[in-house]
Structure 1
Amino acid sequence: MAGSENRIVIVQTTVDDESKAYGLARGAVEARLSAGAHVDARMTAFYWWKGEVQHEREYRISFKTTEDRVEQLRQWVHADHPYEVPQWIVLPTAGASEAYLAWAQAETRGGA
């Protein structure tokens, strides 16, 4: 069976500032912690916080990375994340092509 470095995962977080979203997305790719990242169009989020239902306009960032890079990515994102409790969701993937897997592995390991 393939090692965890052979599995692609999608990791998501949200922020309420567009430039911060772009910075986190680009920075994670530049740091080779993510092979690629998407910043979704602004959306409205509803959630419980400090005993009340809140709502904010947010941007979701989806990082495409390998399973073995998730912890390093989490530490890097959380070090610069503006929220007290950042959303951090790791989604498994299925059916990724061998070519896409190879690309993600190479780009999270220095383009080798």
Structure 2
Amino acid sequence: MSAHRILFCSCPDAPTAEELATTLVEERLAACVNLLPGITSVYRWEGNIQHDPEVLLLIKTTATRVPELMARLRMRHPYELPEIIAVPVTEGLPDYLSWVTTCTKNND
């Protein structure tokens, strides 16, 4: 199984996305978070079709950090049910993946 993950998390606006991204990197839960503004999410919520502007976070981390990262996102995210999806990284530049591992080491 792959040692690295990319997580997707949509946010309602840029300030929320910035705050979450900064928290994840500061706490070494993520090595890097890309903020992709200007997306529109179309989804069903409470029986209605919604069309909402959002900012998508692409979060790079290791498999071992995912449970704590997901818990942290869930705790700080303003949505009642935030999108938090993790996918394995099956290939990548070895030096980059090594950097991700180094940046997400728990210093406790």
Q: Which interval holds the TM-score relative to the shorter structure?
A: over 0.9
- Matched with 2:78 is 82
| 1:105 match | 101
Q: Of Structure 1 and Structure 2, which has the larger fraction of its residues in strand?
A: 2
Describe the superposition over 1:51-75 as per-residue Cα deviations: whole angstroms up to 9, x where unpaired. 0101110000011000110000001
| Residue-pair matches, total | 107
Identity within the alignment, %: 32
Structure 1: which 5+ runs fail to align? none
Query: What letter corresponds to residue 40 of structure 1 in structure 2?
Result: L
Shift of 1:110: 5.5
In the TM superposition, structure 1's runs of 4+ consecutive aligned residues that sit over 3 Å from their partners are: none
Structure 2 residue runs of 5 or longer lacking an equivalent are none
Name the Cα RMSD after superposition: 1.5
Say which of 18, 29, 35 aligns to 1:22. 18
Name the CA shift for 1:8/1:71 in 2 (closer, same or farther; >3 Å): same
